[in-house]
Amino acid sequence: MARDQALSLLAAANNHGDLAVKLSSLKQAKDILFSVEPSQAAELFSYLAELQSSPEPLVRKYLLEVIDDAGAKGSEHLVILFPVLLTFLKDNNPIVATQSIITGTKIFSSVLEELALQFQRRGIVQRWLEELWTGLIKFRDAVLGIIFEAGPIGPKLLSIKFLETFILCFTLDSTEFDMCNPEVIARQGSMFNVSWIADSHPILNPHALMSDANRHLEILLEILLSASKLPGCMTITAVNSLVAIARKRPVYYKTVLKALLDFSPSIEMAKGRHTVSIQYSLRTAFLGFLRCTHPIMTESREKLLKELRAMNAGDAADQVIRQMDKIMRNNERASRELQFSKDDQLSSQLHISGELTKKRTAQLDNENQNNIFEASSKKSRHGPHNSKTTTASDAKQDHVNGISAKPPVLDGDLTPVEQMIAMIGALIAEGERGVESLEILISNIHADLLADIVITNMKHLPKNPPPLTRYGNLSLNHPSDTSDPAQVVGSNGFATSTQSLDHLAQLPASSLSTTSGAVSDTFATANLSTDSKRDPRRDPRRLDPRRLVAPTDMSQTYVVEENVGTVQHPTVEPDFNPVSSSSVLLSAPQSVPEFAPQPLPTIETDINLPDSPMTIEVDEPIQKYEVHDFDANVITPDKDANNYLHLSPSSGKEEDVVSPASMDLAMLDEAYSPSSEASDELPPDIPNVEASESASAELPVLPLYIELDEDHQIRARRLALERIINKYQNSQRTDIKQTQIALVARLFAQIDVSDVIEMAQKLIISDYEEQKGHELVLHILYHLHSLVISDSASSAAAVYENFLLGVAKSLLVDLPASNKSFSRLLGEVPNIPDSVLGMLDDMCTKSHSGADGRDGDRVTQGLGAVWSLILSRPFIRQACLDIALKCTVHPKDDIQAKAIRLVSNKLYAVSYISNSIEQFAKNMFLSAVDQHSSDALLSESAISDRRIGGQVEGAETSTSGSQVSEPEISPDETMKGVLDDSSNIFSQAHRHMSLFFALCAKKPVLLQLVFDSYTRSSKAVKQAVHRHITVLMRALGSSYSDLLHIISNPPQGSEDLLTQVLHLLSEGRAPPTDLVVTVKHLYETRLKDATILIPILSAFSRDEVLPIFPRLVQLPLPKFQMALAHILQGSAHTGPALTPVEVLVAIHDISPERDSLPLKKITDTCSACFEQRTVFTQQVLAKALNQMVDRTPLPLLFMRTVIQAIDAFPSLVDFVMDILSKLVNRQVWRMPKQWVGFLKCISQTQPHSFKVLLQLPSPQLESALSKYPNLRGPLAAYTNQSSIKTSVPRTTLVLLGLASETQMQQPHAVSSLHASDGPTST
């Protein structure tokens, strides 16, 4: 039934027209196939296999999936289906081809596994598996063919992957070394390996297969060789596969690495391929190798690094190395902790050696027997370097007899440094177990803290010279005055771990001394790793042959190996010479000849020292030594001792102690016979002595410890400091500088001698340029400051203050004012004492020596410093601000100007201080306004002045005394002078206001205060205000708008100020509209003073001016003239508001009664106009008069103006006559006020006026003549002329006596009289 179903489904899958039906059928068929009985399945599977020729790629692909499933199930039907894979390899659809390789590869692995396991378990191999294997071999050959055949690339990539799988399967697995990542190993699980195959396997011949694998590797390498012909992605894949093989199978590593290294240059010639990526694949490969910890790979580290650097991948490489180091450390620690948690400490020693052995056995095949000595030699190498450190840190370890490791108790009350020391001690006490943790701990300690630790520890240096020096067991035993036996006992502290492993194993009792050795080992490791971390490449120790075994190196065992030959010798020797220490000592130098030259110079110089006791100059060899073995802990004690020798030739006792020691060292090369004393003094613990002696073969010279009295200590410290500082300058190496800085800082704290400060200052300043001085100063200051904080009673505060002051002054004196160092220093120091502020104050407010013309610069510099301090140091912000503010009222103009610029432009913008600035400015302003309070203010500031100045002087005398400044004028004098007279009041007021007005420029609203206090100000103050406001307004320019509020509501009494402001605002330009509106409003509502309108008059139109014109006339004449100028000037847009003609007319239009103006005012105004002849010209007058003459009524002053006009411009006479004639026609006699003027004008303008006069009717003529009798004669004479007489009415003639009474009645005269009679209405 199932079979039928399956067959029909398969038929459908094969033949149906619809792809969906095909696939669906196939799917169902598959389900059935896997569930039917095996007997039936065989037939069905062969049907299934027929589908391989299906034209649909999807069907073929699905068929592959079925095969995949079958493979995964380990079904024996695979045999039937497998040939399909072979067919599919050549499928024209690359996806199908690719997939068939994938499926084939999977089947390959699983079949191999099955083959191996089946034989292992049952001793036989099933037939189908055998068949399948034959198929797989064919498959393999076909796949190999694909790589180099032309065709799609996808399958080729998989072919390469298949090759990789094949090779991995048939090479011996040694994955344990691929410790890239423990995670990885866990994740990977176990994979088939050729080692699974038993030798007697019927089908699989492991040897043949392994050689196959070799061959296949060559195919992969071949791909690299022919890379130029292949697509880039193939090359990359090949590289990746090779790398995977090399990493998993280190046997191939060298071959692969060589191929890759050879390959890199040939990439260049590639075309049509993405060479960058190919190159990058190499980079990835090398980085990957670096990540591996297998010894073979670590061996080639240098080569890899070089190659990577050449690829510009040095950084990445360094990073990987750092990472690996970290992982290694963590792993080791983890494994150690694991082990130690099980075992107790004693047996752990054995355990470690066991561990080492175990490690070794893994590599036994290629490592030689020297391994036995590796562990011991390694220790003996590291031990000596740091024996001093051990002494230093094992605080209470006076009798370091190997039983040393008493853990200092951790105490809650300890300082951080002490805690640190306690912790280190505890770790040391842990012995071997603590090593890793200690290493990590120390590598994480900041250099500063480390320096602190070492310095603190120096307290605990043994009372007696640490006796163990490089060759120095002699010296320790030798000194004649070995009155103190402890001295000798101390030597054993350095018993290092030279006991070889067999010792160890046999003598568990001695393990404790080994522990101490391990401790020193740790120290070396720690220090080295810390240092080399900074910059491993530049570490000079790398050049030092003694340091070849850098503990940071990953594979210690390997490097150590190089030295085994050398070290091994002395290590073993003690076993044979257990008692005679001297013989060992003699043999030691010989057995290690290459080390001998290294320490010798040092020793010799040590001897030289006493010969030239006063030469303080540093002797080169010592320097060298220091540089070589540079450790913070080495330098200080060493120097103390040496320097002390220089200094105190007189103190004989100490010298005694030292010189024999040095002598001994010098005698080393000579045959030396051990003194009996020495052996007498030998401690009972003989094995330890042996150990120390044999180790001493390479021990560096230990500093001699000498107890100094207080005085000498100080001198020694000073000299040490001096030397470090001297060297500091020359030293180019930054890593050393770092340590030097830390040391100097600490030494400084211990010395309170002022001349040292001076010396330091000089040196620091000279180096300041390179910024290192700065760093040093800060270090010192911070250190001092920390002392101050931790112990308020200490003298550090004074030292701090003196030093800071001194440095600051030197900076000022020695560096140009433009140098920023000064303000940088102040900005970064931990604390600024008052005296420094005083100095700053001095600097800003008083001129310095003056001669060099740098005063101004100094002030600028000082203010600059003040500025940055205000911004960066909140605690002294107020004090600095006070300085700056004080300068703003300084009598010296340039100081004041600078200060004001600073305060108003920079500081005022800072939100948190703007208020206090404003307040200060206000106070000063008000003090200027109200004279009395200003006195108080000034004297107050004078007091503070004195106070600060006094402090500075005090400080100066206490330090170097380098002169900064002398106060020139005492503030009191200044003040007295100021108050002397009013001009001084003015200048003082002006000065005190300056800041305020400068602020007003930033914040015009402040002007309100000026307006408010204006009324009560004295004249001089007002003057000052006016002067300031002029400048201010010009500065404000268009940003006046804030003022509108003030303008719209000026306080009583501030009109003058207001007017000035308005003038200034509209000066030289058209007054802005909003200003005009505001002022107009003000005028209309509150302030009926037309004066305020004057500045804006030019913006007025004709219709606006005319209504207020009388008010303008009412103003005092000068103001009116100003107003007139504005009116006539007008705005650029609209032209003048009024023409001169209109002005004249307007003036005449004013009515004294209506406008309540005294007539006098108007006439004055008129006269004023006439004075401006350039404006009110002849033509203007004529035009104005012409307009006015037709007015009814005539303007009051009309005739007066006419007379004035004719006075001013006599040439107007004809015009005036016309005017007069018109007036006659208008019966001027009926207008009494005009009539008077008319007659006056007639009289003044005779004889021109006779013609007009004659036009008058007789009665008027008569009254005129009666008023001006002197007219009669000339008029009669004029009329009597024949030409005129005829036209003159008879009555007139009669009046003039030129005709009789009777002739008077003349008709035309009557008519003319009538004509002029009508309109008169006066």
Partner 1 sequence: MGRPVLDNETWHFKLKSLREEISELSDRSEMKLRHAMVCSSNQNRSMEAHWLLKREGFDVASYGTGQHVKLPGPSLREPNVYDFGTPYKQMFDDLRRKDPELYRRNGILPMLKRNLSVKTAPQRWQENAADGTFDVVLTFEEKVFDMVLEDLHNRKHVLLKPVLVINLEVKDNHEEAAIGGRLALQLCQEIEAAGNWEECVDDLIMNFERQNHRKLVYSISYY
Contact residues toward partner 1 (CB under 8 A) are: 4-5, 7-9, 19-21, 23-24, 28, 57-58, 61, 94-95, 101-102, 105-106, 152-154, 157-158, 161, 180-181, 183-184, 187-189, 191, 231-233, 236-237, 240, 243-244, 247, 272-274, 276-277, 280-281, 284, 287-288, 291, 316
* Nearest Cα to Cα of residue 824 among 856, 865, 784, 790: 865
Residue placing its CB nearer to partner 1 in the complex, 153 or 663? 153
Q: How far is the CB of 39 from partner 1 (least distance, A)?
A: 20
Name the minimum Å distance from CB 449 to partner 1. 19
Residues in the chain: 1322
631, HSE (Cβ side, Cα atoms, 13 Å): 25
For the chain, counts of helices (H) and of strands (E): 67, 0
Give the distance, in angstroms, between the CA of residue 58 and the centroid of all CA atoms in the same chain.
62
State the first-to-last Cα distance of the chain, in angstroms, to the nearest integer: 148
Q: Which is nearer to partner 1, 4 or 1301 (CB)?
A: 4
Report the nearest approach of partner 1 to the CB of residue 273 (Å).
5
In angstroms, give the least distance from the CB of 742 to partner 1: 22
- When the beta carbons of 21 and 440 are compared against partner 1, the nearer one is 21
Q: Which of 271, 289, 527 is closest to 386 using CA atoms? A: 527
What is the b/e burial string over 1014-1040, where b = at least 16 CB atoms within 10 angstroms of the residue's CB?
beebbebbbbbbeebbeebbeebeeeb
Compute the least distance from the CB of residue 865 to partner 1, in Å: 25
Between 319 and 335, name the residue whose CB sits nearer to partner 1: 319
Helix or strand or coil: residue 538? coil
Nearer residue to partner 1 within complex by CB, 274 or 1248: 274
Residue 409 per-residue DSSP state: P
State the nearest-atom distance from the C-beta of 253 to partner 1, in Å. 15
Lookup: tokens for 868: 């940055």
Distance from C-alpha of 1192 to C-alpha of 301, rounded to nearest angstrom: 121
Burial 206-225 (b: 16+ CB within 10 A, else e): beebbebbeebbebbbebbe
**Least distance CB 7 / partner 1 (angstroms):** 8
Closest to partner 1 by CB, 186 vs 509, is 186
Phi, psi of 80 (to 5 degrees): -70, -40
Instruction: Please identify which residue in the block is written with the tokens 């960066």.
Output: 872
Nearer Cβ to partner 1 (285/749): 285
Rama region for 313: left / alpha / beta (φ>0; ψ in -120 to 50; rest): alpha
Distance CA 290, CA 299 (A): 10
Q: Are 939 and 975 in contact (CB under 8 A)?
A: yes
Q: Which residue's CB is nearer to partner 1, number 4 or number 980? A: 4
| In the complex, minimum distance from the CB of residue 243 to partner 1, in angstroms, rounded to a whole number | 8
Which CB, 95 or 422, lies closer to partner 1? 95
Crossing angle of helices 301-310 and 275-291, rounded to 10°: 150
Q: Which CB atom, from 291 or from 1290, has the smaller least distance to partner 1?
A: 291
Longest CA pairwise span in the chain (Å): 188
Q: For the CB of residue 4, give the shortest distance to partner 1 in the complex, in Å.
A: 6
Helix pair angle (834-845, 796-814), 10° resolution: 20
417 burial level (CB within 10 Å; 0-12, 13-18, 19+): middle
In angstroms, rounded to a whole number, what is the distance separating the alpha carbons of residues 616 and 648? 12
Q: What's the min distance (Å) between Cβ of 181 and partner 1?
A: 6
Least Cβ distance, residue 259 to partner 1 (angstroms): 18
CB of 34 to partner 1, least distance (A): 17
| Strand residues in 332-409 grouped as ranges (E) | none
Query: Where do we find the tokens 């699989």?
Result: 204
Query: Measured from the CB of residue 176, what is the shortest distance to partner 1 in angstroms?
Result: 16
Give me the phi and psi of 1003, to 5 degrees please: -140, 80
Distance of alpha carbon 1143 from its chain centroid, rounded? 71
801-837 per-residue burial string, b: 16 or more CB within 10 A, e: under 16? bbbbbbbbbbbbeebebeeebbbbbbeebebbbbbbb
Range list of H helices, 731-795: 734-750, 754-766, 772-790
Which DSSP state fits 579?
Answer: S
CA nearest 799: which of 745, 751, 747, 744?
751
Q: Which is nearer to partner 1, 273 or 433 (CB)?
A: 273
Q: Smallest distance from the beta carbon of 165 to partner 1, in angstroms?
A: 8
The residue (of 241 and 694) whose beta carbon lies closer to partner 1 is 241
Question: In whole angstroms, how close is the CB of 244 to partner 1 at the nearest point?
Answer: 7
Nearer to partner 1, 292 or 429 (CB): 292
Nearest-Å Rg of the Cα atoms of the chain is 57
For 967, residues 6+ apart whose C-beta sits below 8 A from its C-beta are: 842, 846, 949
Q: 1135 - beta bridge partners?
A: 1131
**Which region holds residue 1227: left if phi is over 0, alpha if psi is between -120 and 50, else beta?**
left
What H or E segment, with its residue span, contains residue 154? helix 153-169
Question: Which is nearer to partner 1, 237 or 525 (by Cβ)?
Answer: 237
The token pair that represents 876 in the structure block: 């002294």
Smallest gap from Cβ 291 to partner 1, in A, equals 7
| Distance of closest approach, residue 749 Cβ to partner 1, in angstroms | 28
Which CB sits closer to partner 1, 61 or 1290? 61
- Torsion angle, CA of 276/278/279/281, rounded to 10 degrees? 120
Nearer to partner 1, 224 or 1296 (CB): 224
Q: Which amino acid is at 292?
A: C
Closer to partner 1 by CB, 186 or 1132: give it: 186
* Identity of the residue, 236 or 788, whose beta carbon is nearer to partner 1 in the bound complex: 236
Q: How far is the CB of 164 from partner 1 (least distance, A)?
A: 9
